[in-house]
């Protein structure tokens, strides 16, 4: 993988991880469409992507620094009693929402791993992601609740929605936002909860996979490029988070529809082009 390709991957990852369009789907489909000649089944490819995820997670952590600091203060019992209670409750809901991904990911990681290297399958799941986003808007709850009124049961449901992203082409943030909408949260609150709950999941995946770079044959050329790319992914992720939070704040009616159309068109076009070898 060239340095240029690594940086292009970084921009792609940093944006598509936050936008509800599937970072993994783009990472599999785009190189195949542009004929980059990258072996996505190589031992170093997935660990490289995980390093980009690590950079992305750091960007998200910095954006929501005040929220994480507030939860830390709550754990330590610092502040007014009501504030401590609220922050501890939010942290508990985030932990509950993360559990399904940890458990289900451990079970199905190997059975679905072969899907990650198939651009055709990823293109089909991009179309499925479009359907998920559309249905999320069509079937959303109408109670309009904020993160403070979400229950532990709501968090668990959102966590199970997030697990759909184990399929390449299904967006993690998109699935989690749809779960939040279904439980009655507004777009801004659902997106914020999705971004917060995604941070520890991404960090955990990074911790497990990054050491595998040491066993990749392309270590010497890949690690340097991956490090620069991870930093770039973090910067793009921070900017993408800022844009999306502002977007969802200003749009709470069918806000996911543009992303649904994008995934449908990209998925259909990609599947057609890849199927006929164009």
Per residue in 79-106, pLDDT tens?
A: 888 899 999 999 999 999 999 988 888 7
Q: Are 124 and 268 in contact, with CB atoms under 8 Å apart?
A: no
Please state, in angstroms and rounded to a whole number, the distance separating the CA atoms of residues 117 and 140. Answer: 33
Lowest mean pLDDT among 140-144, 185-189, 225-229: 140-144
pLDDT for the residue 202: 80
CB 195, CB 241: distance < 8 Å: yes
Res. 218: pLDDT tops 60: no
pLDDT more than 70, % of the chain: 84
Q: Give the per-residue pLDDT at 209.
A: 67
Q: What is the pLDDT of residues 101-129, one digit of tens each?
A: 888 887 876 666 666 668 898 899 999 99
pLDDT tens for 179-195 read 999 998 999 999 999 99
Region 131-141: what's the mean pLDDT?
90
Short-list 18, 95, 26, 6, CA closest to 63: 18
Percent of the chain with pLDDT over 90: 50
Which segment of 22-26, 128-132, 204-208 scores lowest on mean pLDDT?
204-208
Instruction: Supply the pLDDT for residue 30.
Output: 87
- pLDDT at residue number 140: 83
Please report the pLDDT score of residue 42 as a whole number: 65
pLDDT tens-place string over residues 27-73? 888 888 888 776 666 666 767 777 888 899 999 999 999 999 999 99
Mean pLDDT of 244-267: 94
Q: Higher model confidence: residue 134 or residue 211?
A: 134
CB atoms inside a 10 Å sphere around CB 149: 12
- What span, in angstroms and rounded, lies between the C-alpha atoms of 191 and 186? 8
Q: What is the pLDDT of residue 147?
A: 62
**What was the pLDDT predicted at 224?**
75
List all residues 6 or more positions away from 250 whose beta carbon is below 8 Å from its beta carbon. Answer: none
pLDDT of residue 39: 65
Buried b / exposed e across 82-98, counting CB within 10 Å, b at 16+?
Answer: eebebbebbbebbebbb
In this predicted structure, what is the pLDDT of residue 6? Answer: 83
> Which position has the higher pLDDT, 208 or 264?
264
User: How high does pLDDT run on average in the chain?
Assistant: 86
- Report the candidate in 206, 201, 239, 236 with the shortest Cα–Cα distance to residue 14: 236
The residue that leads in pLDDT, 7 or 63, is 63
What average pLDDT score do residues 148-164 get? Answer: 90
For residues 222 and 239, the model is more confident at 239
**Segment of 9-13, 51-55, 160-164 carrying the highest mean pLDDT:** 160-164
The Cα angle at residue 193 between residues 187 and 197, in degrees rounded to 5: 145
Average of per-residue pLDDT across 266-275: 94
């Amino acid at each position: 993988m060239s340095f240029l390709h690594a940086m292009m991957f970084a921009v792609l990852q940093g944006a598509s991880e936050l936008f509800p369009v599937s970072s993994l789907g783009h990472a599999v489909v785009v190189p195949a469409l542009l004929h980059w000649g990258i072996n996505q089944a190589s031992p170093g490819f997935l660990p490289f992507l995980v390093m980009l995820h690590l950079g992305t997670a750091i960007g998200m952590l910095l954006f929501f620094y005040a929220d994480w600091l507030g939860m830390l203060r709550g754990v330590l019992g610092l502040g007014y009693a009501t504030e401590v209670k609220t922050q501890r409750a939010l942290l508990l809901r985030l932990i509950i929402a993360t559990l399904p991904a940890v458990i289900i990911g451990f079970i199905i990681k190997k059975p679905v791993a072969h899907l990650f290297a198939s651009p055709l399958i990823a293109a089909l799941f991009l179309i499925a992601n479009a359907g998920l986003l559309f249905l999320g808007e069509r079937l959303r709850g109408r109670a309009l609740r904020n993160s403070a009124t979400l229950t532990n049961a709501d968090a668990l449901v959102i966590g199970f929605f997030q697990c759909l992203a184990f399929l390449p082409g299904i967006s993690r943030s998109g699935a989690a936002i749809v779960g939040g909408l279904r439980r009655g949260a507004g777009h801004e609150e659902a997106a914020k909860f999705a971004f917060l709950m995604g941070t520890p999941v991404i960090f955990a995946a990074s911790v497990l996979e990054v050491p595998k770079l040491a066993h990749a044959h392309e270590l010497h050329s890949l690690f340097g490029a991956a490090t620069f790319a991870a930093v770039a992914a973090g910067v793009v992720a921070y900017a993408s988070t800022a844009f999306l939070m502002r977007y969802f704040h200003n749009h709470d009616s069918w806000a996911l529809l543009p992303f649904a159309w994008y995934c449908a068109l990209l998925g259909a076009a990609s599947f057609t082009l890849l199927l006929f070898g164009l």
